[in-house]
Each structure stands twice: as structure tokens, then as C-alpha cells.
Structure 1
Amino acid sequence: MDNFSQCQQRLDRLPPSYLCPRRFTENLQVFPIRSISDVEFDAVNQSLTAVVEDHSGAVAELEVPFFSRSADAFSEFEKQLRDHGLLACFVSGHVQMSRGRLRIRPLAVIFQMGAEERIAASPWLGVSSSHADSGLRDTKNRSPIESSIQGFTTDLQTKTAETLLIGLQSQSPMPYHELAGSAERLGFARLPSTLKALGEELTLRSEQRNWKSNHAVQQFAQLIMLLRVME
């Protein structure tokens, strides 16, 4: 959506949540934004809060619950919000109305760091960069297989962050089929089957009129878990 007001109007027209169909992506939205400010950690509720402003000047509340299993990624995400909040340009996440105000539980925030570099920060995956040289550091001291694995891991993290931003409904299946082939060639055990299954589910989306995202969401959640294990 273009701004928070459009989203609020849509949410106001919906029936109560207990009457709405239950879908994983029902209230998943992507917004272009101007900035993120007032970043605070609420020790009582164990959550990170911030104020997000869109380009029309409307504001929404950002809320990120803390989970110990993703503590490192949570810390990286908080640091990016505090250090580069004015550079934030997109946010994706689940939205709801709370006390008359739009609340976003983010999946990812994109920061425009320069003309040729964007950073994706996720409270679950940490930070990944789109800079052309981001995967070239220290490659002189790596073996060819190490460099190949590092390059593959960077591509996988970038694609996962992109999917978190745009949502499974909009993600092309082709990159995941290609990543599955790369993972198999590199000798990964469980990763190829998960990537292949996710790619097949996304392919079914274009073939089935009443496609449901449940299985794709399960495969994507398993992929995120495997990524955490790889770190």
C-alpha cells in the first residue's frame, strides 16, 4: 500500500477478527516510509517499539516482541533502527489497529544506505546487504568451495529477506528452484529439499485458482530455521 491511511481505511471496513477467514498473509503489507524514530525497548513487555512515518506524514507504531532464540538478530535489528532510522525506506509486516492507531509487527525493514546499497534488517534473520562488494571480503584467503558456499549463503539470505519484504504471494518460484540446484551441487543435506518444495508450492500458486499459502508458509518457516542453524 502507498500509505498508512489506506491501510487504516481497509482495516476499518473489515468485520471483527473472529469473523474473518484465518490466513497467514491476510494482513501482511509493505509500505514505503520516510523514517523510523523513538526506538525504545519496553522491559516490562519485552518488546521493541518505534514510531514509523510514511511520506504523507502519517505515523504508525512498530512493535517487535523479543524471543531468546533470535536474540542476536533482534540486537542487530535494534541497532539498525537506532543508527539508521532516518534512512529507512520500506517496511513489511503484519498490521492491526490498536487503540485507534495502526500497529506493525515487522518482518523486515529496508534502509537506503547510499546510491547503490540497500540493507535489509529482520528481527529474525539479522542484516543482509545488497552492495555489490558485500560478499567479496576476505575471499583471497578462502578455498574455492568456501567461497562458493559463502556466495550461496549470501544469495540465500538476500532472497529470503526479499521474500519477507514482498510476501510469498508476490515471490517468483524460479529463484528458489535455482537455489535448490545450487544447494544440491554444494552438498547440503536438508536444504535442497526445502528449497525445492518451496519453489514447487510457489509454482502451484500460478496454476491453482484457489491456492492457499499454508504449505508455502510452512516450507518458508523451515527455511528460516535452517538459515539460523547455518549461521
Structure 2
Amino acid sequence: MRPVAAEPPHGPAEHALQTPRAAGLAGVLFALLLSGAIVLMRLGLPSGAAAVTAGGFTDSTRRSAVRTALALVPFAGIFFLWFVGVVRARVGEAEDKFLATVFLGSGLVFVATMYGAAAAAGAVLATAHPAGSAPSLPTWDFGRHYAYTLMMGYAMRMAAVFTFSTSTIGHRLGILPRWLSLLGFVSGLVLLFVAADVPWSELVFPAWAFVLSVYILVAGGRGGARAAAVPA
């Protein structure tokens, strides 16, 4: 009789239990970093870019808040991409190809537009606003509107598509409870139609990501406990 090979200590079952925790941690870090960036940006620009004049942005505290917010954005994008990758690995082959394409595409476009908005805002501060002086009016007007429109008009709408697709996949596969899927659809509607015009409403996206990530962490922990309780 051919001997049965022993299962390696780090087999598929162990990775299946580790994946939700990794996804949850990445999502929590993304949510915290993006929330921090949004709050700092709103503190630096309380009424948005359209209400800030070139001469009214010479306060060092407000500039520091905006610079700190921009410094957080790259790390938020890194953890978001990790979150997307691990969630896709968790869903696996059960994922619908149409929804999978929308899910991945919207996530990538969201990161790209968020990075573009942060780069544009950083360029305005670096080249048009040196050492406490007021930036030149044409450069300031173009830069602030470009960065704000790219983030609020495009990135948040891609975040809405990402929220819709994630909630739909989770609902169809039964891996998300109904209340969490409904929360995702409501959050997507807010991001799609409200975020561009209502200050602070963009915090809906990191808040949804935080709730989803915490649920993944809790559900993964319960799944690991149940698996450990099953006798070999």
C-alpha cells in the first residue's frame, strides 16, 4: 500500500484561516489612514478648495495639516491595494467574472485618482506656495480646483462603484450578512451623489471599509475557533 503523505504544517486550511485576518487588518489600516487624511484636509481647507483664496492660505497650521494629509495618502493606497488583493483571494473561483472586473477595476482607478489628486495638491503647495507667501492666483486656482475635482468628483465615485460591487459579491456568495450588504449599497449612493457637494460626507467610504474589515476579522476568528473545535 502506498503511504499517505502527511499534510504540510502550512497547508491550505491554515491559509484559509489566515486570509480573512490579513484582509481585515489591511482594511482597518486603510480606513484609519484615509480617515486621518480626510480630517486633516478638511481642517486645513474647512469649506473645500473653492472657498479658499490664495492669500488666505498662508497660515502655517493649515498648511501643515494639508501636508500631513498628503503624506498619509500613499500609505492608505498601499493598504487598500493589499485589502483588495486579499479579498479577491478569499473569494477565489466563486467570483463572478463581470463583478470581479468591476470590483478590481474600480479599486485600481480609485487609487490612481486619489494619488493623482494628492500629487496635484502637493505640487501646488511645493511650487506655488513657498515659505509663507501667497501663491500666484492662476496657479492656485487651477491647482486647487483640479485636485479637489479629481478627488471628490472622480475618486469618490470610483469608491462608490467599488462599494457596490463588493456588497453585491458578498451578498450573492453569502459571505456578508444582509445588513452589511445594505450598508454598502447606502454608502455607495452617498458617495455617488452626495460626496462631491457635502463636506465630510466622503468619510462614509473609510467608515464602510472599517465596518467591513472588522466584520471580516470577527468572522475569521469565529471560523478559526470552529475549525479548531472539530476533532481530527
TM bucket (normalised to shorter chain) is: 0.3 to 0.5
Q: Larger strand proportion, structure 1 or 2?
A: 1
TM-score (normalizing by structure 1):
0.34
Higher relative contact order (CA 8 A, sep 6+): 2
TM-score (normalizing by structure 2):
0.34
Which structure has the bigger radius of gyration? 2
